[in-house]
């Protein structure tokens, strides 16, 4: 079975309380507070890994002076060698 090429995602927000309420209401899930490195001023609320269906881990994050809105999303892709995927980009 192939795995999902997306390994993790981050959605950056300014108001984490509001964003948590929004995503929990829309997707009917409970986000959980995740621990961040002490040296970083960041709040993280993670989406759950659902055991009864295919799901993907990711989080909403609030960073001091961090981005939000628009393109404030970061997606981590899983691959053995990024050069393989990068070579296919040239086709487009």
Model pLDDT for residues 33-89, shown as the tens digit of each residue: 998 888 888 999 999 887 776 667 899 999 988 888 888 999 888 888 888 888 888
Question: Is residue 74 in a domain?
Answer: yes
Q: Please give the pLDDT value at position 39.
A: 84
Number of domains in the chain: 1
Q: Which domain does 52 fall in, by range? A: 6-89
Gap between the Cα atoms of 36 and 69, Å rounded: 21
49 touches 66 (CB < 8 A): no
pTM (two decimals): 0.79
Question: Is residue 76 in a domain?
Answer: yes
Question: Is residue 1 in a domain?
Answer: no
Gap between the Cα atoms of 59 and 22, Å rounded: 13
């Amino acid at each position: 079975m192939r795995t999902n090429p997306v390994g993790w995602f981050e959605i950056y927000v300014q108001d984490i309380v509001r964003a948590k309420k929004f995503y929990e209401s829309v997707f009917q899930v409970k986000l959980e507070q995740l621990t961040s490195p002490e040296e970083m001023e960041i709040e993280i609320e993670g989406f759950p890994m659902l055991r009864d269906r295919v799901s993907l881990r990711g989080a909403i994050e609030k960073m001091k002076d961090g981005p939000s809105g628009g393109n404030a999303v970061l997606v981590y892709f899983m691959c053995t060698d990024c050069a393989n995927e990068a070579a296919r980009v040239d086709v487009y």
